[in-house]
Structures are given as structure tokens and as C-alpha cells.
């Protein structure tokens, strides 16, 4: 199955575990615990209960009538924006916190960019009564202050990171550094990135998205698969969840949206798959924005959740093998799409999700085409950016 890496964690040539010796034991015991939990009925039962009664799943699959009319296709929106805490991130945070509990860990660390994963992790820690430390670039602490206040209210300690650009990449560096000197902590990574088994594990915890799409689509259209799936890719977790059960189905076309920033040729971009070359970051091999000396280039996007110089190894593999086609969506295209969805359907999306919506203008559809597009989060956190635009 193409949604699974090989036993060393490789999707094609990407992935793996490039970690310092000190973390080797951690990563090995995490792997063991994850594979055991996946097969364990009591773990599955507790996780399913939380997804249903705490997160509010299944998230609706909504037929967007006016959007469909505009683009001449049958467009369904997978509403991850309606989850508790406002995005898909909670699916993964809860899966990993249950695993942490099972492993007897009491202190949790996490990295965050826009703050959505930080809030989801702080929420899961409050729920389980565990200690929580969130690493966040100082720049992001300042521009996403509402989420910082939420994390603190939930009982988490937010550690502002002052290295580099003081954004997501730097927060992740710091979380890994802390993990190396405190190997007893459990590191909850927020996307399908990091050393094996994280990309596989996070993809698995998000796979509930396509599991639901299958029966919801069958219920509403009499067919369990769409012609086209669309999702935005930062590290790639909401997209992996959306594609998971369809990756081996050749009837389903997969289209990803990455953040073009001001344009792929401007130097101010986060379009990793378009401009990246193979390299290693945060413990895995992927397509990476870097210069000729292998120095990582600072990414830029209007959306703090897509502002990452790498991409999950599975997505680099899908891109390179042609399984997915990938559009680089500019800031302006994403903003236009955000306002369009708001006016056509009464849904204010996160700016990340708006990148997926902008794909609708880039493709031409047949009248019968069945499209499922994941709205990964709600726009509340982005109101300042949307108003100022």
C-alpha cells in the first residue's frame, strides 16, 4: 500500500530517520508502542470515543451548491473546520496523547507555527492532566497572540524561540534540541514530518478523514469515491488524511495546493515541492528549500500554517512519481478564494484551507465531476489578516 512507508520509513527515496544517537531508543520505543496500539482494541475504543464525543466527529461532508454552480462540478466540502479547537490538528493530538499515556509519559512537548497545533496539544494535555511545553518562534508569538493566550489558559508553558527567523522551523529545531536533553518527554509532532515513525503515525491518526469521506460520499451520491480530491499541504497532515484510503485507487485524481507566497520565482515563497531539492531537515529526507551550500532558505507565506521549508516525505514522493499534481497558490489567489467561499457558502475558511479552494480556478472540470475538498480549519485565527487585506 502506498500510504505506508517501507520498514525504514521511506516513501520512495524520501523519509527515514536521520536522528542523533541519543534519540534512537526513544524513536524505537515509540515505534513499538504505536504499532501495538494500532492493533489494540481498547486503544481504538478510547480514541474513537474521543473523536466522536469530544471532537464532534464525524465532521460533515457538505454539498456546496453555489460553489458547484460557479465551477461546473459537484463539489463537496469536508468540514474539518467544525472540529473542536477549529482544525484537523486535534485528531492527531488526541491520538498521540493516548499513546503518551500508554507509554507512561508525564511531560509533553510540541512545536507550533500559527498556534493551531499548540492549542490542540495544550487542549489534549489539559484533558489528560499532563504537563505541556510548546515551542513557538518569537515572531509567531507576537503575530498569533490569541492562540498564545489560549495555550496559557489551558495550562501550557509557551517557550518563545529567538533563533533564525523565529518561526516554525526554528521552533521545531528547539523542540528537537529539548527532546535530546530530556529524552523522557513525549514529543507530539503536528504534521506528517519528522523522523520515522512520525509521518506514518500522524497520517494514520488523520486517516479518519478519508474513512468518513468514503461512507459519507456513498450515502449522499451512491458512490464511495470521488473523481478528484483537493487539499492544502504544509507538512501534509490534513492532505494525507484526505487521501489515505484513496491513494491506491487509480480512479481518484489527487491535487495538492502548496503555498506560493508572492510567487515561486520571487524568492518569497513556501512552495517546497516546486522549488525544493532533496535534503535533510528535522530528522527526515525530503524536498527542501535550500541554497547551493545546503543552507535552508527562509520560507514565506501569508499563512503561518504553511510557512515551512520542507514537506512530508509521502507528499514529496507523490509529487515526484506523479501520483499527485501540485499547484503553488499565491497569497493573492488564496485571499480571493477565502472571500469567495465566505460569500458563496457562508463559511470563513482558514487561509491555509483557502489555498486548496484556489485550486478550483486552476482546473477545468467536467459537469459530472465529483470533487471532495478538505476545509482544514476555520478562519477565526486569521481575522486580522483577512480584514487588513
CB of residue 111 vs ligand PLP: minimum separation in angstroms? 11
Position 233 contacts ligand PLP (CB under 6 A): yes
CB of residue 231 vs ligand PLP: minimum separation in angstroms? 8
Task: Count other C-beta atoms under 10 Å from residue 159's C-beta.
Answer: 17
Q: How far apart, in whole angstroms, are the C-alpha atoms of residue 278 and residue 324?
A: 18
Whose Cβ is closer to ligand PLP: residue 74's or residue 89's?
89
Among residues 100, 109, 158, 232, the one that binds ligand PLP under rule CB under 6 A: 232
x/- letters, 127..156, toward ligand PLP (CB under 6 A): ------------------------------
The residues that are catalytic are 89, 111, 376
| Residue 366 burial by Cβ neighbours in a 10 Å radius (0-12, 13-18, 19+) | exposed
Alpha helix ranges (H) inside 144-207: 145-153, 168-181, 198-206
The closest residue (CB) to ligand PLP is 377
What cell numbers appear for 51 in the block?
A: 473523536
Task: Count other C-beta atoms under 10 Å from residue 360's C-beta.
Answer: 22
Size of the site for ligand PLP (CB under 6 A): 20
x/- letters, 183..202, toward ligand PLP (CB under 6 A): --------x-----------
3-state secondary structure of 109: strand
Among residues 197, 236, 283, 379, the one that binds ligand PLP under rule CB under 6 A: 236
Position 345 contacts ligand PLP (CB under 6 A): no
What cell numbers appear for 320 in the block?
A: 515526484
CB of residue 117 vs ligand PLP: minimum separation in angstroms? 6
Position 116 contacts ligand PLP (CB under 6 A): yes
Position 352 contacts ligand PLP (CB under 6 A): yes
3-state secondary structure of 39: coil
Q: Are 107 and 91 in contact (CB under 8 A)?
A: no
Exposed e or buried b per residue across 17-54, where buried means at least 16 C-beta atoms within 10 angstroms of its C-beta: bebeeebeebbeebbebbeebbeeeebeebbeebbeee
| Residue 69 burial by Cβ neighbours in a 10 Å radius (0-12, 13-18, 19+) | exposed
Residues 72-91 that bind ligand PLP (CB under 6 A): 87, 89
What cell numbers appear for 32 in the block?
A: 513499538
CB of residue 92 vs ligand PLP: minimum separation in angstroms? 9
Whose Cβ is closer to ligand PLP: residue 79's or residue 177's?
79
Q: How far apart, in whole angstroms, are the C-alpha atoms of residue 267 and residue 274?
A: 12
Position 377 contacts ligand PLP (CB under 6 A): yes
Among residues 237, 256, 290, 330, the one that binds ligand PLP under rule CB under 6 A: 237
Whose Cβ is closer to ligand PLP: residue 337's or residue 350's?
350
∠ Cα 320 303 131 (to 5°): 95
DSSP string covering 337-361: HHHHHHHHHS--B-HHHHHHHGGGG
Interstrand relation of 253-261 and 324-330 (parallel, antiparallel or unpaired) = parallel
Position 238 contacts ligand PLP (CB under 6 A): yes
Whose Cβ is closer to ligand PLP: residue 31's or residue 88's?
88
Q: Which one of the spans 8-16, 26-34, 234-242, 281-289 is the region binding ligand PLP (CB under 6 A)?
A: 234-242
CB of residue 306 vs ligand PLP: minimum separation in angstroms? 6
Q: Which one of the spans 207-215, 265-273, 328-336, 345-353 is the region binding ligand PLP (CB under 6 A)?
A: 345-353
CB of residue 25 vs ligand PLP: minimum separation in angstroms? 27
Q: What are the φ/ψ torsions at residue 112 (nearest 5 degrees)?
A: -150, 150
Residues 268-307 that bind ligand PLP (CB under 6 A): 305-306
CB of residue 350 vs ligand PLP: minimum separation in angstroms? 4
| Residue 332 burial by Cβ neighbours in a 10 Å radius (0-12, 13-18, 19+) | middle
Positions touching ligand PLP (CB under 6 A) are: 87, 89, 114, 116, 191, 232-239, 305-306, 350, 352-353, 376-377
Amino acid at each position: 500500500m502506498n500510504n505506508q512507508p517501507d520498514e525504514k520509513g521511506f516513501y520512495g527515496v524520501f523519509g527515514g530517520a536521520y536522528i542523533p544517537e541519543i534519540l534512537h531508543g526513544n524513536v524505537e520505543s515509540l515505534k513499538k508502542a504505536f504499532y501495538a496500539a494500532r492493533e489494540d482494541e481498547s486503544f481504538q475504543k478510547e480514541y474513537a470515543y474521543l473523536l466522536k464525543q469530544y471532537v464532534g466527529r464525524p465532521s460533515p461532508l457538505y454539498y456546496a451548491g453555489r460553489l458547484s454552480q460557479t465551477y461546473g462540478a459537484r463539489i463537496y466540502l469536508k468540514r474539518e473546520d467544525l472540529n473542536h479547537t477549529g482544525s484537523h490538528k486535534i485528531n492527531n493530538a488526541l491520538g498521540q496523547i493516548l499513546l503518551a499515556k500508554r507509554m507512561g509519559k508525564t511531560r509533553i512537548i510540541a512545536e507550533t507555527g500559527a498556534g493551531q497545533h499548540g492549542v490542540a496539544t495544550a487542549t489534549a494535555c489539559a484533558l489528560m492532566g499532563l504537563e505541556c511545553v510548546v515551542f513557538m518562534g518569537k515572531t509567531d508569538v507576537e503575530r498569533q497572540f490569541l492562540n498564545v493566550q489560549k495555550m496559557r489558559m489551558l495550562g501550557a508553558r509557551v517557550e518563545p524561540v529567538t533563533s533564525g527567523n523565529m518561526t516554525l522551523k526554528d521552533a521545531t529545531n528547539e523542540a528537537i534540541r529539548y527532546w535530546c536533553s530530556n529524552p523522557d518527554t513525549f514529543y507530539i509532532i503536528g504534521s506528517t514530518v519528522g523522523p520515522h515513525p512520525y509521518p506514518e503515525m500522524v497520517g494514520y491518526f488523520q486517516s479518519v478523514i478519508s474513512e468518513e469521506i468514503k461512507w459519507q460520499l456513498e450515502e449522499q451520491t451512491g458512490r464511495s469515491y470521488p473523481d478528484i480530491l483537493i487539499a492544502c499541504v504544509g507538512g501534509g497532515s490534513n492532505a494525507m488524511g484526505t487521501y489515505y484510503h484513496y491513494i491506491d485507487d487509480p480512479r481518484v485524481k489527487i491535487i495538492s495546493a502548496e503555498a506560493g507566497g508572492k510567487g515561486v520565482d520571487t524568492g518569497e515563497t513556501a512552495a517546497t515541492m516546486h522549488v525544493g531539492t532533496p535534503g535533510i531537515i528535522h530528522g527526515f529526507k525530503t524536498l527542501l528549500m535550500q541554497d547551493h551550500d545546503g543552507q535552508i532558505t527562509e520560507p514565506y507565506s501569508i499563512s503561518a500554517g504553511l510557512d515551512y521549508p520542507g514537506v512530508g516525505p509521502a507528499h514529496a514522493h507523490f509529487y515526484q512519481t506523479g501520483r499527485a499534481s501540485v499547484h503553488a497558490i499565491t497569497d493573492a489567489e488564496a485571499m480571493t478564494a477565502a472571500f469567495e467561499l465566505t460569500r458563496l457558502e457562508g463559511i470563513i475558511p482558514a487561509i491555509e484551507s483557502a489555498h486548496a479552494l484556489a485550486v478550483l480556478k486552476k482546473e477545468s472540470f467536467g459537469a459530472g465531476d465529483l470533487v471532495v475538498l478538505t476545509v482544514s480549519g476555520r478562519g477565526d485565527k486569521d481575522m486580522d489578516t483577512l480584514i487588513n487585506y
